[in-house]
Structure formats: C-alpha cells, structure tokens
Amino acid sequence: FASSEFRDDDKDAPKDRYKFGYLTFLMLGVGILLPWNSIIEALDYFEIKMPGHDIQFVISILSHGPIFVAQVAMILFHKYFPPILTINASLVVMSIMCVPMVLLPELIDDENLDWILVFILILLISLVNGFMQS
C-alpha cells in the first residue's frame, strides 16, 4: 500500500524519535492478552483442581458479556474517565487479579468456593478488559 499520505517523510506528521507510539500499542496488546493467556494456559490445572466444572465454557461466556457491558458504559460515560486513567488502572487491576486466580485452588480446600471465586475473578478480568479496550 503506497500512498503519499502515509510516507515516513511527511512534513506534517509528528516525529516519534523514541518509538513511543509503537511501544504504547505493544504494551496495550500485551496488557490485553496476557491475563487471558495465563487463564488459557492454566485450563488443565483448573480441571485437575476443580473436577466436574467446565472452565472452558465459563471463560467463553464470561469473556464476551462483561466486555460488551463495559464498552457500552464507556461509550455513555467516557467524559468522566480520561483514557490514561482507564488504561493504567485496567492494567494494574488485571495484573493484580491474575495472581490469586492460580493461588486460590491451592489455598482453599473447598472446591465449590474455589469455583465461585475463580468465576468472579474471570468476570472481573473481563469487565476490566472491556474498560481498557474502550
């Protein structure tokens, strides 16, 4: 795709000497995908620790609904939340929530309580992910 509008030597384009634009999108992509990758990689672990529960089905259901709700909320209330706040707060919250996700089945012996807490964490990660994507 060659066009004179998108050349690197465009005089009106701001200079990105340190590749901050590239690094920003790289970090955003890593931030969005890393929590889901950690959950997907731990599916066998969850199946061993919580037999009889279909974690794959729960992840597929919980990964779409809350994201949609969060994006609609951000469309309606975007003027109250600056983008830097939603992105940074979402990255911090998702990073914090990934750690207890794996530790809960080890620390709590009640299988049903584990299931409920993992269910809630997946729901919250989905919701925060939706805010960050908005």
pTM of the model: 0.69
pLDDT tens digits for range 67-116: 888 889 888 988 888 888 888 888 888 778 777 777 777 788 787 788 88
Measured distance CA(88)–CA(108) in Å, rounded: 31
Is the Cβ–Cβ distance between 39 and 59 less than 8 Å?
yes
Contacts of 90 (CB under 8 A, 6+ apart): 31, 128, 129, 131, 132
Contacts of 49 (CB under 8 A, 6+ apart): 105, 106, 111, 114
